[in-house]
Amino acid sequence: MNKIENPNNSSEETSIVHDELIQYVDGRYLSPMEAAWRLQGYPLCGKIPAVERLGIHTKDQQHIVYEENKELQALNNKETTLTAWFKLNKIDDFAKTLKYVELTEYYRFNKKSKSWIKRSRSSQYNTIARLNIVSPKDTERFFFKLILNRARGPTSFEDLKNHKDIEYQTYKDAALAIGLIEDDLHIFIIFEEACHIMLPFQLRKFFAWFILAENIQGNTIWNKFKNYFTEDFKTNKENNALSHIQIILENEEKSCKDFSLPEPNSIINDDATSIDNVLQSADIFKCMFDQLTDDQKAIFEELVDNEHKIYFIDGPGEIGEGKVDTFKIPQKWKTTDVCNEIYKNINLGASVSSVILAPHDEDIKILNNKVLKLLHGESKTYYSVDYATHKGVD
């Protein structure tokens, strides 16, 4: 409902009621096919085959939805499709032969009793089971799902950690024993090859991105290859290398601690912020120094030679106006070399005090016209000859 002012009387307000249901009924349009479908009473929507979502969670980690002041009642009714499957396997021999995702073809889940009930008759369309996606970053639940997809007849969470009468501490260890994942040997082979073709700072970047992508603990890789990761540092090698790795991980909102790596000491930072090679920095300085003009070099040398003075540099012209040269030719090439090439044996000292008044022919013509206008009288044309000849004269 909206209120608007009455234009005839500004002190009064007029109420306009918007009924969305009436607007929809009055504004809808049914084609003949849609009208016939509704008159026959056919369903407006449907889904074939039916999809049953199955829960995936580790022990005592299921989601419980409860109403206010009914927490205890919800705790007593915390069964899920997964825990109900464990109970079914204890009493039903046929259920033991099925995988978790195959269960919906022969059983349906009763949400009121929180139990699996065998279907009384087979349907033309089997119900499809859908397992929720689990991120590899959720390590235990990810490996739990790997084992769950192949398991038949488990009666507890502990059964999924058991392989050949050996109960493992984690689902990852159990998945490794079953053969669902590979051990760390292939990872060591990868880094052994990388150490032969990558520089230390490249190795650190590769290592950081590898543990981020694979979501693995990096302490074993670090301990085995840290000598290669730290070769370009002279002091505090391990701390400086870890600081570099930490910077890369922080960009992805992670840290060394998340991957069981030693945490770098931020106080010790001799070389942590200067990873570039010293020789490379010297080459950059030499290249930039050669581009300075003579005046700039004089200022630079003055500043370097005097350490305890304050200097103010005023840069007229285009300095500070946001103009940056994409290409800058050295001063020696722009002037001296060009002049020597065009004017052989020219006196450069004398050229400095000289100036070209009229560089273009058009300027000369304008100057001549102005001078002629200053002369009084009629204009006359004079001819000149270089030599006299009698040829063609009678």
The answer to whether residue 393 scores a pLDDT higher than 60 is no
Beta strands in 78-152 (DSSP E): 107-110, 115-118, 128-131
More confident position, 367 or 275 = 367
CA angle 77, 83, 89 (to 5 degrees): 130
pLDDT of 155: 92
pLDDT of 272: 44
User: Could you report the per-residue pLDDT of 352-367, keeping only the tens digit for each?
Assistant: 666 666 666 777 788 7
User: Could you report the per-residue pLDDT of 69-112, keeping only the tens digit for each?
Assistant: 777 777 777 788 999 999 999 999 999 999 999 998 899 898 88
User: Could you report the per-residue pLDDT of 219-256, keeping only the tens digit for each?
Assistant: 889 999 999 999 988 888 889 999 999 999 988 888 89
| CB-count burial class (<10 Å; 0-12, 13-18, 19+) for 233 | buried
Average pLDDT over residues 179-206: 86
More confident position, 358 or 271 = 358
Average pLDDT over residues 154-176: 89
| 124 close to 47: Cβ distance less than 8 angstroms | no
More confident position, 352 or 146 = 146
The secondary element (H helix, E strand) that includes residue 5 is: strand 2-5
Residue 29 — very low, low, confident or very high, per pLDDT cuts 50/70/90? confident
Average pLDDT over residues 180-204: 85
More confident position, 133 or 390 = 133
| DSSP classification of residue 152 | B
